[in-house]
Amino acid sequence: MTGRNLPPLSLHVPEPTFRPGDEADYSSFPVPVAGAVRRPEIGAAPAEMRDLSYDMVRVLDEDGAAQGPWDPRLSPETLLKMLRSMALTRAFDERLYRAQRQGKTSFYMKCTGEEATSIAAAHALDYDDMCFPSYRQQGLLIARDWPIVDMINQIYSNSADRLKGRQMPIMYSVRDANFFSISGNLTTQYPQAVGWAMASAARGDTRIAAAWCGEGSTAEGDFHSAMTFAAVYRAPVILNVINNQWAISSFSGFAGAEATTFAARAIGYGIAGLRVDGNDALAVYAATQWAADRARSNHGPTLIEHFTYRAEGHSTSDDPTKYRSADEGTKWPLGDPIARLKKHVIGLGIWDEERHAAMDREVAEQVKAAQREAEKSGVLHDGLKQSFDPMFEDVFETMPWHLEEQREQMLEERKAAGI
Amino acid sequence: MSAEQAAGETRTMNMIQAINSALDVSMERDEGIVVLGEDVGYFGGVFKATEGLQKRYGKTRVFDTPISECGIIGVAVGMATYGLRPVPEIQFADYIYPALDQLVSEAARLRYRSAGEYTAPITVRTPFGGGIFGGQTHSQSPEGIFTHVAGLKTVIPSNPYDAKGLLIAAIEDNDPVIFFEPKRIYNGPFDGHYDRPVAPWSRFPESEVPTGHYRIELGKAKVVREGGDVTILCYGTMVHVAKGVVEESGIDAEIIDLRTLVPLDIETVAASVKKTGRCVVVHEATKTAGYGAELSALVQEHCFHWLEAPVQRVTGWDTPYPHSLEWAYFPGPVRLTQALKRVMQD
């Protein structure tokens, strides 16, 4: 120690580029050229495609035209179905966010700006592929045509809620749509998806698994356990990281984004990694399709980073203007996923402004009608709509004596108190 | 006993062999059962509990894993969601903490939070307890952490016969079960006299284990010695410590081997304490907020008017498990004898 002529150590604490009051300026952000990135064979060795973890797969150019080898060449029906699912998801989010503000439920989370990352992925997967979502993948259910009234019942914890009012709003579970029960603990679903995929492979099945987490929660141990297991057993799984830049108020730098990309996490594990423009539905579709084909052909897992932007707050519980620049979203250099897909289909001559406006009206009406239908079964804050009976059920398959005793005690105490 | 007794031939087994037999019999009957964990495959486990299984059932049903308890349990939950029935091994209970979130927030709550859409029928086998000079990282008894979690069952056998029947029942149970194996008694019923040799299981009737399939119902305790003066509540290794002390002290104690901590067989416990009027709770785990505190509270709630003396607890001290002083830590015959004398004085 003695005699060293060094400055004192200093601790680096990351700081985002823009804070409230700053004007967001992305002029130094190099927007990658659409169509410029190569598309490897689905069996490519991970070591042969490391560049794809740092580059960015983009298909739609500034004019909305599809470019390059990743163009999935989708049918007009698929393109318009994706567009409609995205529009419905956005309308759903707006309506249910408002319902929370109106006091009809306790909590809500929008996925505005990130619709493509769920919806295009869902279209590229088979319906019986198993999804292990995080909390911002409502687009998966909507893309799989799950009735939105059922989703609203869950959000309201009302008497028609299949989850019996046990879960916070948006923590859906839909086995019939191959959609896993959402946990509020982050990235726990990652090793579970890998395990599901390992089981599918061990049983000689053809179905694969896909998981989603945010860039912030790639810092969780579960993420790294999952990556190790996925690599070791070459599990048929797609591991999606939705890099929406913000984890509540912490920017992606707190998950390591200042030093590298999230797709590059794949390199150390020997997993195929792709970095994709998450606001480009065609790029998301193409990357998911590539990874699904790869998994289904026993070539193993793929980590996909979806580079996108969380256009709204984390949830109804935070105000993003308190921690980030207000115009980041509008100035986001990769645009809006719905606007970009709309431009594409109009360019193809299969869509126009009138039909788009009509669709927006239809999906808004669809959400309103579903909301009315759901409210017939009650909303969270208009009194306890759930029966007390199921409160002690499903802790175990059969109720043990101590839960029977506690249930009786609860009912007796309520009765004694006159409630 | 008759419902628990299996027909057919028996073989002399120690606890490891009985556990191995339970896994073998279960895997033979149900293709969905998979065994995973550190060193469980080719090598057959560091305690040899899974020996021969990979050879018999193949690498896709019995396989080694990375050293990641979080991954082992997370993957097991995912496999269970697929429809399999995983039996992960955590090499030492001391290593289970990295898997806590997957056990506590995921496996335990999956049935409840999905209203039964998804379940996690996994059985986590893990050796626990001290007395092997394992220091603080190979000796712990963390059962109280798991008995505190809604949705988990906790099972602890005390002999080869029970180990096999309870493990089969745990595997076939549709809820997640933590199956703690008292490693100090894998080879013989250690009574706490560390300065004496331990007789092998083969000298005891509990080592006569049916080679076929049988179950011991979870949630049923066993009265291993009937007595009138005091009730000793214990499980795992402590059952044998209690038996030794009772034999030597001449106190007419009733010894109850709980076998399952959750759900607890409260009827057997309460009936015994109401009969004897006195109760000593014994476990190796640390004292404060341990499972003994729950037992103590339950005895008080159910048997208050029958109690002649305060419930005594004989437990590990509230320190980490000390390597060289483990016999000062281990709640052995000296301490149990004194606790019995105290409870009989009042």
Residues of chain A with C-beta less than 8 angstroms from the C-beta of B105: 183, 185, 188
Domain-located, residue B215 = no
Residues B66-78, buried b or exposed e (16+ Cβ, 10 A)? Answer: eebbbbbbbbbbb
pLDDT of residue B5: 52
* CATH number of the domain where residue A146 is located: 3.40.50.970
Same domain, A392 and A355: no
Domain-located, residue A58 = yes
* CATH number of the domain where residue B325 is located: 3.40.50.920
Domain-located, residue B216 = no
| Partner residue opposite A198 with nearest CB, options B75, B101, B262 | B75
Domain-located, residue A10 = no
Domain-located, residue A2 = no
Same domain, A348 and A394: no
How wide is the angle at C-alpha B332 spanned by C-alphas B327 and B338, nearest 5°?
A: 125
Do B262 and A400 count as a contact with CB atoms less than 8 A apart? yes
| Partner residue opposite B78 with nearest CB, options A171, A173, A195 | A195
Size of interface A-B (CB pairs under 8 A): 142
What residue has token string 């470019």? Answer: A67
Name the closest residue on chain A to residue B265, using Cα atoms: A401
* CATH number of the domain where residue B72 is located: 3.40.50.970
pLDDT of residue A382: 75
Alpha-carbon span B321 to B182, nearest angstrom = 15
For residues A243 and A305, the answer to whether their CB atoms sit within 8 Å is yes
Q: How many domains does chain A have?
A: 2
pLDDT of residue A381: 77
Residues of chain B with C-beta less than 8 angstroms from the C-beta of A166: 112-113, 115
Alpha-carbon span A151 to A160, nearest angstrom = 10
Name the closest residue on chain B to residue A225, using Cα atoms: B71
Same domain, A289 and A209: yes
List residues bridging with B64 in a β-sheet.
B37
Phi, psi values for residue A5, rounded to 5°: -95, 70
Q: How many domains does chain B have?
A: 2
Q: How many CA atoms lie less than 13 Å away from A299 in the CB half-sphere?
A: 17
pLDDT of residue A2: 63
Chain A: nearest CA to B264, how far in angstroms?
A: 9
Q: Which candidate, B107, B92, B114, places its Cα nearest to that of B149?
A: B107
Same domain, B231 and B173: no
Same domain, A371 and A392: no
Same domain, A63 and A182: yes
Do A173 and B74 count as a contact with CB atoms less than 8 A apart? no
pLDDT of residue A385: 64
Of B210, B241, B258, the residue that ends a domain is B210
Domain-located, residue A142 = yes
What residue has token string 């356990």? Answer: A225
When scoring B64, B79, B110 by the number of chain A Cβ atoms within 10 A, the one with the most, hence best to mutate, is B79
Alpha-carbon span B12 to B27, nearest angstrom = 21
Same domain, B57 and B132: yes
Domain-located, residue B4 = no
When scoring B59, B68, B73, B75 by the number of chain A Cβ atoms within 10 A, the one with the most, hence best to mutate, is B75
List residues bridging with B232 in a β-sheet.
B255, B280
Of B180, B210, B240, the residue that ends a domain is B210
| pLDDT tens by residue, B94-110 | 999 999 999 999 999 99
| Partner residue opposite B113 with nearest CB, options A167, A228, A396 | A167
List residues bridging with A238 in a β-sheet.
A210, A302
Of B181, B210, B239, the residue that ends a domain is B210
Domain-located, residue B69 = yes
Same domain, B180 and B243: no
Phi, psi values for residue A342, rounded to 5°: -60, -45
DSSP B106: I
Where chain A has pLDDT below 50, the residues are none
Domain-located, residue B130 = yes
pLDDT of residue A419: 85
When scoring B77, B112, B147, B295 by the number of chain A Cβ atoms within 10 A, the one with the most, hence best to mutate, is B112
Same domain, A215 and A176: yes
Other beta carbons within 10 angstroms of residue A258's beta carbon come to 13
For residues B78 and A198, the answer to whether their CB atoms sit within 8 Å is yes
pLDDT of residue A388: 82
Domain-located, residue B42 = yes
| pLDDT at B120 exceeding the cut of 60 | yes
| Partner residue opposite A188 with nearest CB, options B86, B102, B117 | B102
Residues of chain B with C-beta less than 8 angstroms from the C-beta of A228: 66, 68, 71
Same domain, B168 and B230: no
Name the closest residue on chain B to residue A393, using Cα atoms: B112
The H-assigned helical ranges of chain B are: 15-29, 53-57, 69-82, 100-101, 110-113, 143-147, 160-172, 237-249, 266-276, 291-303, 326-329, 333-345
Domain that holds residue A108: 46-375
Note if B138 is an active site residue: yes
Same domain, A370 and A391: no
Same domain, B187 and B229: no
Do A130 and B98 count as a contact with CB atoms less than 8 A apart? no
Same domain, B60 and B191: yes
Same domain, B255 and B191: no
Same domain, B198 and B242: no
Same domain, B206 and B228: no
What residue has token string 């006569």? Answer: B208
Do B77 and A191 count as a contact with CB atoms less than 8 A apart? yes
Residues of chain B with C-beta less than 8 angstroms from the C-beta of A194: 71, 74-75, 78
| pLDDT at B6 exceeding the cut of 70 | no
Do B263 and A402 count as a contact with CB atoms less than 8 A apart? yes
pLDDT of residue B210: 98
Domain-located, residue B41 = yes
Same domain, B169 and B273: no
Domain-located, residue A202 = yes
Alpha-carbon span B101 to A376, nearest angstrom = 37
Tokens of A315: 């949830």
Q: How many CA atoms lie less than 13 Å away from B98 in the CB half-sphere?
A: 18
Residues of A with CB under 8 A from a CB of B: 130, 132, 162-164, 166-167, 171, 173-175, 180-181, 183, 185, 188, 190-200, 202-203, 209, 221-222, 225-226, 228-229, 232, 390, 394-397, 400-402
Same domain, A366 and A402: no
Name the closest residue on chain A to residue B173, using Cα atoms: A397
Same domain, A233 and A309: yes
Residue B95 buriedness (CB in 10 A; 0-12 / 13-18 / 19+):
middle
When scoring B36, B57, B70, B298 by the number of chain A Cβ atoms within 10 A, the one with the most, hence best to mutate, is B70
Work out whether strand A237-243 and strand A209-214 pair parallel, antiparallel, or are unpaired: parallel
Chain A: nearest CA to B232, how far in angstroms?
A: 22
How wide is the angle at C-alpha B122 spanned by C-alphas B107 and B96, nearest 5°?
A: 70
| Partner residue opposite A180 with nearest CB, options B75, B81, B112 | B81
Same domain, B183 and B281: no
Residues of chain B with C-beta less than 8 angstroms from the C-beta of A157: none
| pLDDT confidence bin for B3, thresholds 50/70/90 | very low
| Partner residue opposite A225 with nearest CB, options B74, B115, B174 | B74
Among candidate residues B138, B213, B240, B283, the one labeled active-site is B138
Residues of chain B with C-beta less than 8 angstroms from the C-beta of A402: 263-264, 266
Same domain, B121 and B188: yes
pLDDT of residue B17: 98
Chain B: nearest CA to A221, how far in angstroms?
A: 8
| Partner residue opposite A225 with nearest CB, options B71, B82, B84 | B71
The answer, as to whether pTM is greater than 0.90, is yes
Q: How many CA atoms lie less than 13 Å away from B284 in the CB half-sphere?
A: 29
Same domain, A406 and A309: no
| pLDDT at B263 exceeding the cut of 90 | yes
| pLDDT at B220 exceeding the cut of 80 | yes
Q: Assign B35 to helix, strand or coil.
A: strand
| pLDDT confidence bin for B1, thresholds 50/70/90 | very low
Chain B: nearest CA to A7, how far in angstroms?
A: 38
Domain that holds residue B112: 10-210
Domain-located, residue A32 = no
Do B70 and A394 count as a contact with CB atoms less than 8 A apart? no
Domain-located, residue B2 = no
Same domain, A338 and A216: yes
Chain A: nearest CA to B283, how far in angstroms?
A: 22
Chain B: nearest CA to A336, how far in angstroms?
A: 34
Domain-located, residue A115 = yes
Same domain, A206 and A330: yes
Domain-located, residue A233 = yes
